[in-house]
Amino acid sequence: MPTPAPSDDVLVSAVLSPYLLTHLHHVLQRAEFGAQREGRATMARNYAQLRRLLCNEAQSIPGGPRRGQHDQAA
Protein backbone atom coordinates (compact mmCIF):
# COMPACT_ATOMS: atom_id res chain seq x y z
CA MET A 1 0.00 0.00 0.00
CA PRO A 2 1.59 3.33 -1.02
CA THR A 3 2.18 5.92 1.68
CA PRO A 4 0.52 9.29 1.17
CA ALA A 5 2.72 12.17 0.08
CA PRO A 6 3.70 14.52 2.90
CA SER A 7 1.78 17.75 3.07
CA ASP A 8 2.57 21.17 4.46
CA ASP A 9 -0.97 21.32 5.83
CA VAL A 10 -1.51 20.46 9.47
CA LEU A 11 -4.86 19.01 10.41
CA VAL A 12 -6.05 19.61 13.94
CA SER A 13 -9.18 18.11 15.34
CA ALA A 14 -10.41 19.43 18.66
CA VAL A 15 -13.49 20.64 20.44
CA LEU A 16 -12.99 24.32 21.18
CA SER A 17 -15.23 26.37 23.38
CA PRO A 18 -16.14 29.93 22.38
CA TYR A 19 -14.03 31.12 25.34
CA LEU A 20 -10.98 29.24 24.07
CA LEU A 21 -11.50 30.54 20.53
CA THR A 22 -11.63 34.09 21.86
CA HIS A 23 -8.53 33.52 23.97
CA LEU A 24 -6.57 32.08 21.02
CA HIS A 25 -7.66 35.00 18.85
CA HIS A 26 -6.38 37.50 21.43
CA VAL A 27 -3.09 35.64 21.92
CA LEU A 28 -2.46 35.63 18.17
CA GLN A 29 -3.48 39.28 17.90
CA ARG A 30 -1.03 40.31 20.64
CA ALA A 31 1.71 38.23 19.01
CA GLU A 32 0.99 39.87 15.65
CA PHE A 33 1.10 43.40 17.05
CA GLY A 34 4.24 42.62 19.07
CA ALA A 35 5.99 41.31 15.97
CA GLN A 36 4.98 44.46 14.07
CA ARG A 37 6.44 46.67 16.82
CA GLU A 38 9.67 44.68 16.74
CA GLY A 39 9.95 45.00 12.97
CA ARG A 40 9.37 41.29 12.28
CA ALA A 41 6.97 41.73 9.37
CA THR A 42 7.10 38.10 8.24
CA MET A 43 6.16 36.83 11.70
CA ALA A 44 3.40 39.44 11.97
CA ARG A 45 1.95 38.25 8.65
CA ASN A 46 2.11 34.63 9.83
CA TYR A 47 0.27 35.47 13.06
CA ALA A 48 -2.35 37.43 11.11
CA GLN A 49 -2.83 34.51 8.73
CA LEU A 50 -3.25 32.08 11.63
CA ARG A 51 -5.74 34.43 13.28
CA ARG A 52 -7.80 34.73 10.09
CA LEU A 53 -7.74 30.95 9.66
CA LEU A 54 -8.94 30.53 13.23
CA CYS A 55 -11.76 33.01 12.58
CA ASN A 56 -12.82 31.21 9.40
CA GLU A 57 -12.76 27.82 11.10
CA ALA A 58 -14.68 29.15 14.11
CA GLN A 59 -17.42 30.46 11.83
CA SER A 60 -17.93 26.96 10.42
CA ILE A 61 -18.60 25.51 13.89
CA PRO A 62 -22.32 25.23 14.70
CA GLY A 63 -23.03 27.76 17.43
CA GLY A 64 -19.58 29.28 16.98
CA PRO A 65 -18.80 32.97 16.60
CA ARG A 66 -20.12 34.71 13.52
CA ARG A 67 -18.35 37.08 11.18
CA GLY A 68 -17.41 40.29 12.93
CA GLN A 69 -16.90 38.81 16.38
CA HIS A 70 -13.29 37.70 15.87
CA ASP A 71 -12.11 39.46 12.74
CA GLN A 72 -12.33 43.17 13.44
CA ALA A 73 -8.54 43.64 13.18
CA ALA A 74 -8.05 41.18 10.31
Nearest-angstrom CA–CA distance, 13 and 1: 25
By residue range, what is the domain housing residue 32? Answer: 18-59
Asked whether residue 25 is assigned to any structural domain, the reply reads yes
- Which band of pLDDT confidence, cut at 50, 70 and 90, is reported for residue 55? confident
| 52 pLDDT higher than 70 | yes
Instruction: Report pLDDT digits (tens) over 7-44.
Output: 666 655 566 677 788 888 899 999 999 999 999 999 99
Q: State the pLDDT at residue 13.
A: 54
Overall domain count for the chain: 1
Asked whether residue 8 is assigned to any structural domain, the reply reads no
